[in-house]
Structure 1
Amino acid sequence: MLTAVQIKTLKPREKAYKVADGAGLYLLVNPNGSLLWRVKFRFHGIEKKMALGRYPDMSLREAREKRDEAREYLEQGVDPVAHRKQERLKAEAAARTTFRVVADEFIAKMEIEGKAPATLKKMRWFRDVLDPKIGNRPIKDITAHELLRALKRFEQKEHYESATRARAFSGRVFRYAVATLRAQHNPADILRGALVSPKVKHHAAILKPEKVGELLRAIDGYGGRIETRFALQLAPHVYLRPGELRKAKWDEIDFEAAIWRVPAERTKMRKPHVFPLSKQSLNLLQDLRALGNRGDYLFPANSSWLKPICENTLNIAIRRMGFTSSEMTSHGFRSTASTLLNESGLWHPDAIERSLAHRERDSVRAAYHRGAHWDERVRMAQWWSNYLCRLRDGAEVIHPMFGT
């Protein structure tokens, strides 16, 4: 049997040679001076060899332990070389199915399916913040405890809504992993109710008719960039989502048919939205077009006509007019329209919901109402613009007519 002292005295020769230790273990001494541990054995009568490591990285004692481990597999009727290869493949597969890898694949799938750039950006952000804790872990091995610890980082900073959304995102990634046979369970489901429920925040909006009139007068007197003023003037009439409004393009406006077609890729529900335009809206759009701005956008950025105004432009303008963030936001025009149209009691709730492009959760009902209420929506758009003009002029104020 070899000793540590003997190993140190081994010298290279012109050809590689072996120095036996015992029970199949030996050192291969190469001409370049490297010393490699090998073990030979017979499996089903066939002689095989298995590399163990390099000396002195692997000591004599460690080499003997590896040899004994290989012999234990032989006694169980298992080829140690094949077993090690299988374990290596499993490790490589695990490395290819970490949370990070599966999350990237899931986000790529969502992009192909047409999710909005803003949605994909949020997904990537959640992936990045979860990455330090579970990103390199094989997704099938991640426990609910590990995921909870990662999510608690948000709660420690009192970012309760972010924690809830991160759990929802991770849950979608785990469900995708289960569906693609790379995990057996979804630990995010177990954590339902484990996180602090965030307080629901609504977009600030002016809901009192007299105050709406004050806002409209302030908009008409806005002294900033003229394109921003037009955007603010249009916003209460069409009550589109801020992103749908600020990224609007001229080819979406049909002046003859008096409609605005918002393409699916820019709507929250990923479905095209058609909005009927009142006379006031059409007049504003015609005046805006008369400015003769270059490019496709109704509201081009000040720095480049190839880009739309940024997402904060309208909110900043509202602040400049004296309305605080707790009073009014650019998204608040939708709440204003929804509240006052419903309070009028003149319009069917489904017509209002369709104008707001809200999703109908009942698929049968959605199919039925896809083309319904259009005539009513056309009348409602004109009535609403007329009503806004009266509020702006300080005239008629409606009162709720519930049950009408």
Structure 2
Amino acid sequence: MALTDIKCKKSKVPAGKKQIKLADSDNMYLLVTLKSKYWRLDYTYNGRRKTLALGVYPKVSLKEARQKKDAARKQLDDGEDPVLLKKKNGPVDCPTFKEVATKWHQKKSNELSDEYAAKIWRRLEMYVFPVIGSYPIAQVDSPMVLEMLEKIEKQSYIETMHKVKSLCSRVFRFAVVKYGKKHGIEYDPTTNLIDALTARKSKKMATIIEPKQIGQLLRVIEGYEGTFVVTCALRMAPYLFVRPGELRHAEWSEFDLDAGMWSIPGQKMKMDDRHLVPLAEQVIIVLRKLHVVTGHCKYVFPGIRTKDRPMSENTVNAALRRLGYEKDEICGHGFRAMASTRLHEEGWPSDVIERQLAHLERNQVKAAYNYAEHLEERKTMMQFWADYLDKLRDTPS
């Protein structure tokens, strides 16, 4: 039964589903998702099933969608592929997704480590460019991105799917600012997908939260006999409780030891926002000793083979294994859960703890992220935490 304007307007996704298709005629249908509605036409060309995007409802009405469908059917009768014609006759001079992504990557590469920049590019080449890379970016819409992400999900790569979505979002946001006015790129199509994707599985990082066991761990760390650089990283990790990647990529230019502050640039943070880490007296003492050894290097914890790169990703975890701790007992990321649990138990306000963990996301409605929020309380808390750890370490069970 053909669609009507009223049926299109009132259509909704039933509870428990992510999307539905409402058939019209000649394989045209309205794809109804939780946030938007899209006109689509399924057809076969050279034995392959393909889908043509006809527009977004209600911007494109039912009547207009049928007119576009009829035009596409005529192209098929003439032996032409509507999707290829649409790509060929896209917006004048509108760059493709790959071209925009390349410019974005070139701009961001100056702010990222070579290793991370290469990892980002590999993801784009593997998962994104083969699917939407050749399309003018103004033509890439939510269903196209969703179809691409669902292919990744079908391979059981749920975490990778979310990372690719986040990566595409950054490219689209760059396009809105860089090319939006000229080519009519008004929004990031990934923002509509949150309810259509399988949620990430929460990871429970191995950690130690019992005071006596923490004290034992710290005493074992004190006896570590590895290189001086790794020893310093291992000893400071519990006191700083930053993410492992933030620790190993730390640069001397980010530290003000006299002021007792480490300022991590936004491009190194998970939320792309600058983060302040107050340094306890115990941490400053270790850093001053380490500066004598690596102060001439870019990185606080340079690698063994080359000083131009940070220590390897698994260094802290490998050191913990050498000390006899298994991966299901404690890992480098586990120091964050350790600090969060004990500080909450000691009565510190949740807002202060979460801000220091850099867990709070920006509220898009409010003003810019306030990286200095609760800073005085955080300074006091970080010194308390260092003294607390020292006390546990120096109190044999």
Task: Confirm or deny: 8 A CA contact 2:216 2:393 kept in the other structure.
Answer: yes
Q: Residue 286 of structure 1 corresponds to which residue in structure 2? A: 288
1:386 CA drift (Å): 1.8
Task: Confirm or deny: 8 A CA contact 2:280 2:382 kept in the other structure.
Answer: yes
Q: Provide, for residues 373-395 of structure 1, a one-character-per-residue CA deviation record: whole Å limited to 9, x for no partner.
A: 41x33332222112112222345
- Report the count of equivalent residues: 306
Q: Residue 121 of structure 2 corresponds to which residue in structure 1? A: 124
Q: Residue 33 of structure 1 corresponds to which residue in structure 2? A: none
Q: Which amino acid aligns with 1:321?
A: L
The 5-angstrom pairing of residues 26-105 of structure 1 reads 91=89, 97-105=95-103
Which one of 315, 318, 321 corresponds to residue 316 of structure 1?
318
Which one of 237, 249, 273 corresponds to residue 235 of structure 1?
237
The 5-angstrom pairing of residues 171-210 of structure 1 reads 171=169, 173-174=171-172, 176=175, 179-180=180-181, 181=183, 188=190, 191-210=193-212
What are structure 1's unaligned runs of at least 5 residues?
1-86, 397-404
Inter-CA distance 107–305: structure 2 relative to 1 (3 Å threshold):
closer
1:268 CA drift (Å): 4.1
Q: Provide, for residues 169-222 of structure 1, a one-character-per-residue CA deviation record: whole Å limited to 9, x for no partner.
A: 435545636835256886645654333323122433222222222221221122
Q: Which amino acid aligns with 1:356?
A: L
TM-score (norm 2): 0.63
Task: Confirm or deny: 8 A CA contact 1:205 1:335 kept in the other structure.
Answer: yes
Inter-CA distance 141–308: structure 2 relative to 1 (3 Å threshold):
closer
Name which one, 1 or 2, has greater alpha-carbon Rg: 1
Inter-CA distance 301–142: structure 2 relative to 1 (3 Å threshold):
closer
Moved more, 191-200 or 382-391: 191-200
1:118 CA drift (Å): 7.0
Inter-CA distance 314–146: structure 2 relative to 1 (3 Å threshold):
same
The 5-angstrom pairing of residues 2-401 of structure 1 reads 91=89, 97-108=95-106, 121=118, 123-128=120-125, 129-142=127-140, 146-171=144-169, 173-174=171-172, 176=175, 179-180=180-181, 181=183, 188=190, 191-291=193-293, 294-345=296-347, 347-359=348-360, 361-362=362-363, 363=366, 367=370, 370=372, 372-374=374-376, 376-394=377-395
1:271 CA drift (Å): 4.6
Task: Confirm or deny: 8 A CA contact 2:142 2:190 kept in the other structure.
Answer: yes
Inter-CA distance 144–216: structure 2 relative to 1 (3 Å threshold):
same
Inter-CA distance 179–327: structure 2 relative to 1 (3 Å threshold):
farther
Inter-CA distance 361–97: structure 2 relative to 1 (3 Å threshold):
closer
SS of 1:305's equivalent in the other structure is coil
1:228 CA drift (Å): 0.5
1:147 CA drift (Å): 3.8
Task: Confirm or deny: 8 A CA contact 1:203 1:329 kept in the other structure.
Answer: yes
Once residues 304 and 91 of structure 2 are traced to their aligned partners in structure 1, the CA distance between those partners, rounded to angstroms, is: 51
Once residues 257 and 172 of structure 2 are traced to their aligned partners in structure 1, the CA distance between those partners, rounded to angstroms, is: 48
Q: Which amino acid aligns with 2:217?
A: L
Once residues 270 and 89 of structure 1 are traced to their aligned partners in structure 2, the CA distance between those partners, rounded to angstroms, is: 33
Q: Which amino acid aligns with 2:390?
A: C
SS of 2:335's equivalent in the other structure is helix
1:288 CA drift (Å): 2.8
Task: Confirm or deny: 8 A CA contact 1:212 1:391 kept in the other structure.
Answer: yes
Once residues 136 and 290 of structure 1 are traced to their aligned partners in structure 2, the CA distance between those partners, rounded to angstroms, is: 52
Q: Provide, for residues 47-69 of structure 1, a one-character-per-residue CA deviation record: whole Å limited to 9, x for no partner.
A: xxxxxxxxxxxxxxxxxxxxxxx
1:233 CA drift (Å): 0.4
1:344 CA drift (Å): 0.5
TM-score (norm 1): 0.62
Inter-CA distance 187–327: structure 2 relative to 1 (3 Å threshold):
same
Moved more, 285-294 or 196-205: 285-294
1:136 CA drift (Å): 2.1
Q: Which amino acid aligns with 2:302?
A: P
1:232 CA drift (Å): 0.6
Q: Which amino acid aligns with 2:318?
A: I
SS of 1:275's equivalent in the other structure is strand
Moved more, 358-367 or 277-286: 358-367
Once residues 334 and 133 of structure 2 are traced to their aligned partners in structure 1, the CA distance between those partners, rounded to angstroms, is: 38
